[in-house]
């Protein structure tokens, strides 16, 4: 495989990972265990910790980050694909909402990736108790794409440990270890961009995106807005 093909694969994996990507340290993909206290110390230092999780014969790449806001203030941003569009994910060019329910969405997502302009796939997401999202590919050019986002309270509820896990098979002949390496290298950028966006909204230096989906939840949006002073959204 040429360097161009490898780079394309890495960027593709990173771009797709947004829904369901020298400033961080990563866990060994060989599966070496990291003591819980070590993991917490690394997260508290602001690192994104990347590793592997085996479910049956499938290896999911995982990434964890600590965000200094409670889960209910992160959920409306993390769930909303229009927060990623043009803000967290610069390669995401279009999102079409096919199905919009409080516990389920189907989204048609278009990306511009190097050498693959207007790359489109369809993803179904299920939302659980304002804390977890499970997603899978149901259409488009990908052969397989699935995983989950999961939040858990940290620091007595004042912060959140956010974990993202994904598996992707693009459907063309690329070794899975190469796909995992591409995701491993790029996933922290997604999580850091999300943390930065949450911080900007919660610190009142940026407006919450008003275009959203039902899964973001009125209660969650109210919980977020309760901590904010209204500001003008310059994108409107």
- State pLDDT tens for residues 23-77: 333 333 334 454 556 788 999 999 999 999 999 999 999 999 999 999 999 999 9
0.85 surpassed by pTM: no
Q: Among 129-133, 166-170, 200-204, which stretch is predicted with the lowest mean pLDDT?
A: 166-170
For the chain, the average pLDDT equals 80
CA dist., res. 152 & res. 71, Å (int): 7
Q: Tell whether the model's pLDDT for residue 229 goes beyond 50.
A: no
pLDDT at 176: 84
- Evaluate whether 70 touches 155 at the Cβ level (below 8 Å): no
Q: Tell whether the model's pLDDT for residue 235 goes beyond 80.
A: no
Cα–Cα distance list, 121 to 110, 140, 171, 191, 197 (Å): 7, 4, 12, 21, 25
pLDDT at 232: 40
From the list 235, 170, 203, 193, the residue with the least C-alpha distance to 73 is: 203
């Amino acid at each position: 495989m040429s360097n161009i093909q490898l780079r394309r694969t890495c960027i593709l994996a990173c771009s797709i990972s947004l829904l369901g990507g020298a400033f961080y340290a990563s866990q060994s993909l060989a599966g070496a265990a990291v003591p819980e206290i070590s993991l917490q110390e690394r997260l508290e230092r602001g690192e994104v910790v990347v590793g592997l999780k085996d479910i049956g014969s499938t290896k999911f790449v995982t990434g964890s980050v600590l965000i200094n806001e409670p889960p209910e203030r992160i959920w409306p941003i993390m769930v909303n694909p229009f927060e990623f569009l043009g803000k967290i994910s610069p390669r995401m060019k279009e999102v079409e909402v096919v199905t919009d329910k409080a516990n389920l969405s189907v989204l048609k997502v278009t990306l511009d990736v190097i050498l693959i302009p207007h790359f489109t796939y369809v993803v179904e997401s299920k939302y659980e108790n304002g804390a977890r999202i499970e997603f899978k590919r149901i259409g488009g050019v990908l052969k397989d794409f699935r995983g989950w986002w999961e939040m858990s309270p940290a620091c007595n509820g004042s912060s959140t440990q956010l974990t993202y896990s994904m598996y992707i098979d693009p459907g063309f002949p690329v070794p899975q270890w190469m796909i995992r390496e591409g995701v491993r290298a790029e996933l922290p950028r997604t999580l850091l961009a999300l943390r930065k966006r949450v911080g900007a909204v919660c610190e009142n230096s940026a407006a919450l995106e008003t275009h959203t989906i039902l899964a973001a939840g009125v209660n969650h949006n109210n919980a977020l807005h309760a901590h904010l002073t209204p500001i003008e959204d310059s994108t409107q």
